[in-house]
């Protein structure tokens, strides 16, 4: 009897432990959804924010890009801090910062205060997000479990943008734009209370922090995005635009030089020696840039040209999260059968097909064409994000999981910020007062070109093996 009890107890304990760990990872995934939602949840509310706080058109773009630039520029530092101090601890610290400044952003009374709050939200997200992916990849029991978890993470990452538009429209219509930020507070508090009890801490690792790398990476990103946004108003040849590009390029150059010499670099040089990882990072930047830009333009079209309410505008995006969720259920099997590279190429090509009709929008364009474009965009996103994540994290040692996760999400966020800046600048350059479509069509062409660049980035991985053979 004693031996029977002794052998069964560990099995029950193991089952209970797996259940608790599963709940904990679901909560971590909920926090990741909150971080991703925040990139677009205020998008639908932008006209109301501009009216309430008296934003200019140039200032308004920083409500989105202030978050994206801080998020993307500090993700590498967040990944490194997670590796050294423990990923759960770093995750909780980031969620706490994000929650506090969500509250303060909702209480903002001026454009400056709101943009500062959004940037500090991005700081919190930069600390929390790399630990999410690292906790998932290091907690999986085997490759199958890892692929399923990555598929769910990819669905959250790609679906979150579209869900943010729906939630933003709902909150703006039912309450006001401030609730697009207040909604993060109860979620953040619940995560802060529950995760310490349900998710185990990862071991600490020795190392120092590359402060110069963090400053140059973030400063370079801010300068380049600022220059791209200013180009729409000042022109590409204006001194301010050129000066912004020069400062950004100088800071990125300093980053590249110092990362080779410091003992504990923010950007691990060996992570960029894999062709598949570099292609995945480039494709992710172009993919997310094109999608975030499409969201921005489509909201303007639906609200300004079709005169939909914020809620109806958000609901118009419903085909995207539904198709992304459906694809997330079958993509792991498709990756096993066809390979990640082929699936990414097919998804990128489908996204180009989806964007092309939007470059020809006119007052007579049937709404069904817009809905089909959104549906195809969702299918392509669901087909692309998980394989790109797999390519980026392939053959990464556990001690570099946080840094690699941070690098991957850095390219996603900075790609989104740069892509949005390019498209917004193109839209502003061709804009005609009172007419969205003239500038909007030019902007959709820019988004289409970004998607084509994602296809080109991964196509090299197919051509290279054939040449080698």
Structure confidence by residue, pLDDT tens digits, 361-371:
988 889 999 99
d(CA 406, CA 131): 8
Higher pLDDT, 406 or 378: 378
Which residues, listed in sequence order, are joined to residue 432 by a DSSP beta bridge?
A: 435
Helix (H, G, I), strand (E, B) or coil at 373: helix
d(CA 282, CA 195): 33
- The per-residue pLDDT for 8 is 41
Question: pLDDT per residue over 370-404, tens digit each?
Answer: 999 999 998 998 888 888 888 887 777 766 666 67
Question: 227 near 245, Cβ under 8 Å?
Answer: yes
Query: Which of 178, 158, 191, 162 has the alpha carbon at shortest distance from 40?
Result: 162
- The per-residue pLDDT for 7 is 38
Question: pLDDT per residue over 125-147, tens digit each?
Answer: 988 887 877 677 665 566 666 66
Residue 465 scores a pLDDT above 60: no
- The per-residue pLDDT for 445 is 94
- The per-residue pLDDT for 141 is 60
> Average pLDDT over the chain, rounded to whole?
80
Question: 293 near 420, Cβ under 8 Å?
Answer: yes
Encode burial over 371-384: b for 16+ CB neighbours within 10 A, e otherwise: eebbbbbbbbbbbb
- The per-residue pLDDT for 157 is 67
- The per-residue pLDDT for 468 is 40
Helix (H, G, I), strand (E, B) or coil at 432: strand
d(CA 181, CA 247): 32
- The per-residue pLDDT for 204 is 67
Residue 211 scores a pLDDT above 80: no
Query: 200: left (phi > 0), else alpha (psi -120 to 50), else beta?
Result: beta
Higher pLDDT, 160 or 452: 452
Among 22-26, 53-57, 85-89, 164-168, the range scoring the smallest mean pLDDT is 22-26
d(CA 126, CA 69): 10
Residue 148 scores a pLDDT above 80: no
Residue entry with tokens 């967040």: 78
- The per-residue pLDDT for 4 is 35
Query: Which of 17, 20, 38, 40 has the alpha carbon at shortest distance from 28?
Result: 20
- The per-residue pLDDT for 229 is 75
pLDDT band at 205 (very low <50, low <70, confident <90, very high): low
């Amino acid at each position: 009897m004693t031996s029977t009890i002794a052998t069964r107890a560990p099995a029950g304990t193991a089952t209970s432990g797996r259940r608790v760990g599963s709940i904990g990872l679901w909560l971590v995934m909920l926090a990741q959804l909150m971080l991703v939602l925040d990139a677009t949840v205020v998008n639908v509310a932008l006209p109301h924010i501009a009216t309430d706080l008296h934003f200019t058109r140039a200032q308004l773009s920083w409500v989105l890009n202030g978050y994206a630039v801080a998020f993307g520029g500090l993700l590498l530092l967040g990944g490194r801090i997670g590796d050294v101090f423990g990923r759960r601890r770093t995750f909780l610290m980031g969620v706490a910062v994000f929650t506090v400044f969500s509250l303060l952003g909702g209480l903002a009374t001026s454009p400056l205060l709101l943009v500062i709050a959004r940037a500090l939200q991005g700081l919190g997200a930069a600390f929390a997000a790399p630990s999410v992916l690292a906790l998932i990849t290091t907690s999986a029991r085997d490759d199958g479990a890892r692929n399923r978890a990555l598929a769910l993470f990819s669905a959250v990452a790609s679906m979150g943008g579209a869900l943010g538009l729906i939630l933003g429209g709902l909150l703006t219509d039912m309450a006001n734009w401030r609730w697009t930020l207040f909604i993060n507070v109860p979620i953040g508090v619940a995560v802060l209370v529950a995760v310490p009890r349900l998710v185990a801490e990862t071991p600490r690792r020795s190392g120092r922090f590359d402060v110069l790398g963090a400053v140059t990476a973030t400063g370079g990103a801010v300068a380049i995005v600022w220059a791209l946004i200013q180009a729409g108003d000042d022109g590409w040849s204006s001194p301010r635009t050129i000066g912004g590009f020069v400062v950004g390029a100088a800071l990125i150059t300093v980053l590249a030089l110092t990362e080779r010499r410091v003992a504990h670099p923010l950007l691990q040089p060996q992570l960029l020696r894999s062709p598949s990882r570099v292609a995945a990072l480039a494709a992710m930047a172009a993919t997310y840039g094109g999608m975030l830009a499409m969201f921005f333009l489509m909201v303007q079209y639906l609200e300004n040209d079709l005169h939909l309410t914020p809620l109806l505008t958000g609901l118009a995006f419903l085909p995207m999260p539904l198709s992304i969720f459906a694809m997330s259920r079958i993509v792991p099997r498709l990756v096993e059968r066809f390979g990640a590279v082929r699936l990414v190429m097919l998804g990128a090509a489908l996204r180009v097909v989806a964007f092309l009709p939007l470059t020809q929008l006119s007052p007579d364009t049937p709404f069904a064409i817009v809905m089909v474009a959104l549906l195809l965009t969702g299918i392509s996103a669901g087909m692309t994000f998980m394989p790109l994540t797999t390519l980026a994290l392939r053959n990464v040692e556990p001690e570099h999981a946080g840094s690699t996760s941070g690098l991957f999400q850095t390219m996603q966020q900075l790609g989104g910020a740069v892509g949005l800046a390019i498209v917004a600048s193109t839209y502003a350059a061709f804009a005609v007062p009172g007419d969205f479509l003239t500038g909007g069509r030019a902007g959709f062409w820019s988004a289409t070109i970004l998607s084509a660049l994602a296809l080109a980035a991964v196509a090299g991985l197919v051509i290279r093996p054939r040449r080698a053979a």
